[in-house]
Amino acid sequence: MPHTPSFTPKELARILEKNGFVLKRVKGSHHYFVNIQTKKIAVVPMHQKDLPKGTLLAILKQAGIDKNEF
């Protein structure tokens, strides 16, 4: 079983942008990214610490990105 790397919210936002997502709106500390082609939405909590493993995996699932790509 491969190890899941940890990411900061800013690093995850860059990964989403490389996969075709654009920042749609900001509400509080949550950034909403939308992929125009797939119509998928990913919500990233922009806090200072690394994202917990479960949160990271849930965001990747929302975005339709395979966790094994990392």
**Element (H or E) spanning 31, and its range?**
strand 30-35
Each residue of 18-50: pLDDT tens digit? Answer: 999 999 999 999 999 999 999 999 999 999 999
Regarding pTM above 0.85, the answer is yes
- CB 7 within 8 Å of CB 50: yes
Which of the four pLDDT bands, split at 50, 70 and 90, describes residue 4? confident
Question: Mind listing the domains of the chain with CATH numbers?
Answer: 9-63 (3.30.920.30)
Q: Note the pLDDT of residue 1.
A: 46
Q: Note the pLDDT of residue 69.
A: 78
- The b/e string for 24-40 (b: 16+ C-beta within 10 A; e otherwise) is eeeeeeebebbbeeeeb
Average model confidence (pLDDT) across the chain = 92
